[in-house]
Structure 1
């Protein structure tokens, strides 16, 4: 297997400047890093006067739109059938594998258009024509490094995007990836005008009723195996519909990841956007327990302490069977 090496920052910059019509595709697994790295890169392209389009295959949560202007991103675009002909460059941000551009994990990019892959996930196979993959708190942290190498004028808006992504993708600066360098980036972004305290209030003191109801479902279905040090819950779409919840922004496994006396936790959920499969979100409570190893064996990805994957209904017809698949894999982690 060829060695995975990053393209030089100046080489990537030259490619971007030469492009006439860039396409930015958001990763299907919505989070602030996927969103904010896209918004920051879009602002950068505006500074260069490079024509570009931003697309996302699903809905952006309403709550997020109250914090950031996402109007430039076209939602619910079928990236499998999208007309790529007008574009001469594709930029992928925060996608650990190119398949993750869709929730079914089977996206294949057009072979005739060069691409840039900017990411921070361990195991990223460098699928782009040009790659910049750096294992750090977030893709936005890696993007901040590129912006500084390119001497980009980082505006207050861009600083807010980058800070939001670094803070959330590091577990509110609690994951082991948060070192002195990352903390210094937060300080540098605050010095550039990023509103750290305002964003933290938004995250921690601005919870939607719908999110509280979904958390209640997750807690009600919680199963704790104290002897084997794991816990899980099941979030069925039928339970969500029964409560008349149309939208929520809770990351299911984050709800129970603080449970004491566990090595790891996971939540199994059904999702109408991926019929025919269970979606599994996994979190480590013990920082030495590697949930990424479990996810990767099922075609998923993420990080050592936060990962996700899918299990098809053909492999596990019931939630109990899906639980067994995860537990069997965990025994070898």
Structure 2
């Protein structure tokens, strides 16, 4: 996705207004786009790069548009001034997008607040096809934005959140790890996911180096100036890894029924190896199959949890393939 670089504002909390529209942006889902995504997230699945898919023709990765939805910020704000970090991501999947289709992305700021001296901005966005206005996916992102030290802004009063559940992040010692979901799978079943090594060239492509953007993801000097020891991978790359795993677990229905929520806890650096794990936390039977939910976490080779959350999909659902 490329955006007009003129008249973009500095990425400053006080300039961001709830209700401000981001986009629209339109672009084609062509082979080059899909190959770039495949390289960046190390997912060369045949449904995306082969001659067909269960939907009748090649499709983009389920997570392919996540980064572009997040980048809608840069239709109004300067990407070279963005030093914020992605804290939380939630998305729902509604339809696959086929190679050759044109998509339209739109979004807006829906909330902003100050907590412990840091600014937080919440964005909601969606992707639809241009030709038939078909909904592909919706996402909601919470990102930090620095507030100048001399600012008089104070923490924003907010309604107390309801007690939330937490990801345990521990594999049950009395269960063997399984590789696949199956009808009748029990709550508490642990699953082994993917293992990936994150490389700088992948991080750079995913985060816009080809657009000549300089960020904590693509430029080591910028990252060090921002207090990091090195460049850091976008949290969304971890979401893409989990989505690839979910595609294997749920099959075609992931593209039509998938839901994921992830909190990003710790940075991932170039050459880090990360592994994805999950435990079944819920099974709800329905007329077209069972909705299975898993808690999931992404762990570095040093045993640090980089992301935690949940995802769910429909198991046994017959896709509306063309």
TM-score range for the pair, normalised by the shorter chain length: under 0.3
More relative contact order, 1 or 2 (CA 8 Å, 6+ apart): 2
More strand by share: 2
TM-score by length of 1: 0.21
More helix by share: 1
